[in-house]
A = this chain, B = another copy of it.
Amino acid sequence: MRKINFSAGPSALPYEVVEKMSEAMIDFEGSGVGIGEISHRSKEFLSIMEEAKSLVRELLEVPEGYSILFLHGGATLHFLMTAMNLMKKDGRAGYLNSGTWAAKAMKEASMVGEVVEVASSKADGYTYIPKGYTIPSDIDYFHCTSNNTIYGTQIKEFPECPVTYVCDMSSDIFSRRIDVSKFDLIYAGAQKNVGPAGVTLVIVRDEILGKTGRDIPYVLDYQQHIKAGSMYNTPCCMAVYMSVLNMRHLKARGGVAVAETYNREKAQMLYDEIDRNSMFRGVVTVKEDRSDMNVTFVLNEPEKYSERFAELCEEAAIREVKGHRSVGGYRVSLYNAMTKENVQVLIDVMQKLEQEK
């Protein structure tokens, strides 16, 4: 029996996608070999790589002048690669410190050059998104994280940016409309709304590359990957294909705008229950910063009710509601594949806990 999977990533994918992927393990698109076994240079896989790029272009309305890449390493490698490819020799970069992933990106970039913290909510436990700051105009680029999986905050309005604009959209890309033309480089580990773990999507404005004056190792150089069409080295074919299946599914469903409306309503259902239910309270202090992707909350009396709540979740076939080890409490992730019906199952459990009190 399939369970309700609220994991923060890798996370639930649509059942049609999972089923097709299961078939493709045996025979990938009629090739007679499995997707785990096919040559990445075969005509069948090359056509999937092309489709991957054109689906991104279509779903996000990517303008001309941008390259689309599907690369190795997870977003973590791109913490380093963005700095390597964009920070000038003796240059510096500005970061919005809005959560654990932003802080990790800063730490990695600091191995490359000077990192300026433009604004931070760290001192307040990352419980809101900093606002009202000024992005310096004498930095090589500004980096922000669109959504913080761990604390459950999300940038709802992106600031205007006077310099090269980089955004880690790992946890909310494809969940809402974005104006790609505002950004110069977007990267996203796939394992939330793109597909499974094993591939990272990069959307980069070509003209910003090749200007650092530093020697970039070949395998970390976005220009090498662009030249090689994301085939500088063997891609994770399974992850790329599952991402294509998932993007096809999103397109058939009506695209990003349809997903956005659904995601908004779906998250609101759960936030309404958290605010109403006397047993729980939300973690994020500024309500407008609450993430539509990751809902964080705690029990008011965990010592009394956490065991029973865990039991009720298990009875309802619910998995992965535990909060990140650095925050505690609960974290419920509501990526594109999560249905309102399944969120209602959780809400019913929360209400049952309250009624039992």
Residues of A within 8 A of B (CB): 1-3, 5, 7-13, 18-19, 21-23, 25-27, 31-34, 36-40, 42, 72-77, 79-80, 107-108, 111-112, 189, 191, 195-198, 215-220, 232-239, 242, 317, 319-320
Candidate in A19, A23, A25, A73 with the most chain B CB atoms within 10 angstroms: A25
CA distance A217 to B22 in the complex (A): 37
| Inter-subunit contact A36/B7 (CB<8 Å) | no
| Inter-subunit contact B12/A37 (CB<8 Å) | yes
| Chain A interface main SS type | loop
| Inter-subunit contact A18/B39 (CB<8 Å) | no
- Picked from B76, B198, B319, the residue with its CB within 8 Å of the CB of A32 is B319
| Inter-subunit contact B197/A237 (CB<8 Å) | yes
CA distance A7 to B38 in the complex (A): 7
Smallest Cβ distance from A330 to chain B, in angstroms? 14
CA distance A196 to B237 in the complex (A): 8
Contact residues in B for A21 (Cβ distance below 8 Å): 25, 34, 36
CA distance A3 to B36 in the complex (A): 14
- Picked from B18, B37, B195, B217, the residue with its CB within 8 Å of the CB of A10 is B37
| Inter-subunit contact A40/B234 (CB<8 Å) | no
| Inter-subunit contact B7/A39 (CB<8 Å) | yes
CA distance A74 to B242 in the complex (A): 19
CA distance A75 to B74 in the complex (A): 16
| Inter-subunit contact A2/B18 (CB<8 Å) | no
CA distance A131 to B226 in the complex (A): 38
- Picked from B195, B234, B239, the residue with its CB within 8 Å of the CB of A9 is B234
CA distance A34 to B238 in the complex (A): 14
| Inter-subunit contact B242/A36 (CB<8 Å) | yes
- Picked from B13, B37, B191, B215, the residue with its CB within 8 Å of the CB of A18 is B37
Contact residues in B for A217 (Cβ distance below 8 Å): 80, 108, 111-112
Q: With contacts A26-B22, A108-B219, A111-B217 known, is A234 near B37, CB below 8 A?
A: no
Contact residues in B for A76 (Cβ distance below 8 Å): 219, 232-234
Closest to A22 in B: B25
| Inter-subunit contact B72/A72 (CB<8 Å) | yes
| Inter-subunit contact B32/A1 (CB<8 Å) | yes
CA distance A195 to B236 in the complex (A): 11
| Inter-subunit contact B197/A234 (CB<8 Å) | yes
Extra contacts, 13 of them, besides A72-B77, A198-B236 (Cβ < 8 A), are: A7-B38, A7-B39, A10-B36, A10-B237, A11-B39, A19-B25, A37-B196, A73-B73, A73-B219, A74-B234, A112-B217, A197-B236, A198-B238
Q: With contacts A1-B32, A8-B39, A33-B12 known, is A191 near B22, CB below 8 A?
A: no
Query: A-B pairs with the 3 shortest C-beta distances?
Result: A3-B32, A198-B236, A76-B233
Smallest Cβ distance from A173 to chain B, in angstroms? 15
Query: What are 13 A-B pairs with beta-carbon distances under 8 A?
Result: A1-B32, A2-B26, A2-B33, A5-B32, A10-B37, A10-B38, A10-B39, A18-B36, A19-B25, A73-B73, A73-B233, A80-B220, A111-B217
- Picked from B9, B31, B233, the residue with its CB within 8 Å of the CB of A75 is B233
CA distance A234 to B7 in the complex (A): 13
| Inter-subunit contact B191/A234 (CB<8 Å) | yes
| Inter-subunit contact A37/B5 (CB<8 Å) | yes
- Picked from B32, B40, B237, the residue with its CB within 8 Å of the CB of A2 is B32
| Inter-subunit contact A26/B32 (CB<8 Å) | no
| Inter-subunit contact A219/B12 (CB<8 Å) | no
